[in-house]
């Protein structure tokens, strides 16, 4: 059985994962409207993945005898001034999510809930990958600078990005 403190913290994470899905969805929509097909494809996939993270938490809370709270959907507030700004926000958000996961792990250890601690290790590993992917993408964007040809290649290239920050395309 989950403690009240841990259940509340896990439900906060449910909301954060849902918000993350919405943030990526808003970024995907912006990219699609701007003609960045590759960036949109990447962001739509990320949105789906974040939703799966949320569902995994919901199922865990309920399986442990708790009650998962389905959060309200909030409209993301983003700076859409450039694709570089978009990815900088993405990176900063992933760092924020990592901190939240670390806080959850700390609570699980305080509560001596080793099952939850074990469950959360998947999220810890996932966040390492998420941050690395975002950092790699930002590095590529910084290499491009203002080169329109580079942006075209980047947009095409990002379609093949996976969660390990590697590229599966041959471009």
Distance CA 91, CA 94 (A): 5
pTM (2 d.p.):
0.89
The string of pLDDT tens digits covering residues 129-149 is 999 999 999 999 999 988 888
Q: Shortest CA distance to 85 belongs to which of 123, 34, 46, 16?
A: 34
Annotated binding residues for Fe cation, as ranges?
A: 17, 50, 53, 94, 127
Greatest mean pLDDT among 40-44, 81-85, 153-157 lies in 40-44
Annotated binding residues, as ranges?
A: 17, 50, 53, 94, 127
Average per-residue pLDDT for the chain: 91
* Alpha carbon 72 to its chain's center: 18
Distance CA 110, CA 6 (A): 10
Q: Is 170 exposed, middle or buried (0-12, 13-18, 19+ CB in 10 A)?
A: exposed
Q: Confidence band (pLDDT; 50, 70, 90) for 151?
A: confident
Range scoring the smallest mean pLDDT among 4-18, 90-104, 143-157: 143-157
Judge whether residue 171 has pLDDT over 70: no
In this prediction, residues 22-41 reach a mean pLDDT of 95
Q: Which domains does the chain have, with CATH numbers?
A: 4-70+79-160 (1.20.1260.10)
Q: Which two tokens stand for residue 119?
A: 């469950």
One DSSP character per residue, 18-81 reads HHHHHHHHHHHHHHHHHT-HHHHHHHHHHHHHHHHHHHHHHHHHHHTT----PPPP-------S
Judge whether residue 75 has pLDDT over 60: yes
């Amino acid at each position: 059985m989950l403690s009240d403190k841990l259940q509340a913290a896990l439900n906060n994470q449910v909301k954060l994962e849902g918000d993350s899905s919405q943030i990526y969805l808003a970024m995907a929509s912006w990219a699609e409207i701007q003609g960045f097909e590759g960036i949109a494809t990447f962001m739509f996939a990320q949105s789906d993945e974040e939703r799966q993270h949320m569902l995994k938490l919901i199922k865990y809370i309920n399986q442990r005898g708790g009650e998962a709270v389905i959060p309200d959907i909030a409209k993301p507030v983003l700076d859409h001034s450039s694709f570089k700004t978009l990815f900088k926000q993405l990176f900063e958000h992933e760092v924020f999510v990592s901190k939240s996961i670390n806080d959850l792990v700390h609570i699980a250890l305080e509560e001596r809930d080793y099952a939850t601690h074990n469950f959360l290790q998947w999220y810890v590993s996932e966040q390492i990958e998420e941050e690395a992917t975002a950092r790699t993408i930002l590095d590529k964007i910084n290499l491009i600078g203002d080169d329109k040809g580079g942006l075209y290649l980047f947009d095409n290239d990002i379609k093949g990005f996976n969660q390990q920050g590697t590229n599966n395309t041959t471009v």
